[in-house]
Amino acid sequence: MKKYVPLLLVVVILSCKTAKQHQSDAPLEVDKSINLYAFIGKKISVDEFEVKNKIVYSIDSITNDTIKNTSVAMDRGFNATYQVLKPVFNDLKVDTIQFKVFNHYGRPYFEKHKTALLYISKGDGYFYLQKYQYDVVKKKKGIWKGKKGRSLQELFNAKKQGVFKARELFSKK
C-alpha cells in the first residue's frame, strides 16, 4: 500500500492543477441579459473599410416635398479579427472573433499592442467595439495585468462602474 502513496499524490496534484486551469479559463462574471462581452484578445488583423455617408429621404407632411437628409460619417471604420485568449465578462464561445471598430481619432490605439482587454457588443448582426473601450494587458508570470499592475477584475470593474454604467449597460440593481 505504501508504494502506491506517491503515485496517488501525483494523481491528486495533477487533477487539482487541471481543475485550476479550467477554472481560470471561465469568465470572471456572467450575465447574459447584458449585451456585452469582455475578453482578452490577441490581434490577428485590423483592416480599414470605407464608411459611407448615409442619405435618408423623407416627405414633408405639409408641402409633400421630398427632403434629402445626409449624415456625414466622422469616424473611420475598421474590421478587426482577434483570437479570444480568455473571456472576462460573458463567454463568446469562439476561438476567433471579428468585430467592427469606429474611431474618429484615426487608427485604434489598441492595435499597436499584441494583446488587449476588449469590450464588444452585438447589434445588427455584427459585433462592435464599445467605442474607445479597451485596456492594454500583458501576461506576467502567468497572470494577465493592465497598466500599473491592475488585475482584470480591477480593469473590468472600473469600466462597469464608469462608462458602462453611464451608457446604461449595468443598472443599479
pLDDT single digits (tens) 36-91: 999 999 999 999 999 887 787 888 888 888 887 877 778 999 999 999 999 999 99
**What sign for the dihedral angle of Cα 161, 109, 114, 92?**
positive
Sequence-distant (≥ 6) Cβ neighbours of residue 122 within 8 angstroms = 35, 37, 128
pTM: 0.77
